[in-house]
Amino acid sequence: LENLNQTIDKRTSIQITPLTKKVRDLNKGLTIYYGENEDNSLSMEYHGMGARSWSSILSFKTFLDILYEKAQKENKLFFPIIAIEEPETHLHPNAQKQLYNQLKTLPGFKIITTHSPYIVASSNLNDIVTIYKNSGEVVCGNLKELSEDEKKRFNIRLFKQEEN
Alpha-carbon gap, residue 59 to 64, rounded angstroms: 9
What are the residues whose beta carbons fall under 8 Å from the beta carbon of 143, sequence distance 6 or more?
125, 126, 128, 129, 130, 151, 154
Residue type, 7: T
Three-class DSSP category at 147: coil
| Same-domain status, 83 and 11 | yes
Residue range(s) defining the domain that contains residue 66: 2-111
The number of domains in the chain is 2
Tens digits of residue pLDDT in 97-117? 999 999 999 989 999 999 898
- Of residues 37 and 132, the one with the higher pLDDT is 132
| Same-domain status, 67 and 9 | yes
The distance of Cα 154 from the centroid of its chain, to the nearest Å, equals: 25
Q: What is the pTM of this model?
A: 0.63
Of the pLDDT bands very low, low, confident and very high (cuts 50, 70, 90), residue 56 is: confident
| Same-domain status, 71 and 144 | no
- Domain boundary residue, one of 72, 89, 111: 111
- Domain boundary residue, one of 68, 87, 111: 111
Angle at CA of residue 95, ends 121 and 22, nearest 5°: 100
Residue 47, pLDDT score: 72
User: Is 37 domain-assigned?
Assistant: yes
| Same-domain status, 105 and 131 | no
Considering 2-6, 7-11, 26-30, 149-153, the range whose residues carry the highest mean pLDDT is 149-153
Alpha-carbon gap, residue 110 to 138, rounded angstroms: 21
Of the pLDDT bands very low, low, confident and very high (cuts 50, 70, 90), residue 80 is: very high
| Same-domain status, 9 and 80 | yes
| Same-domain status, 88 and 163 | no
User: Is 118 domain-assigned?
Assistant: no
Residue 72, pLDDT score: 94
Residue 110, pLDDT score: 92
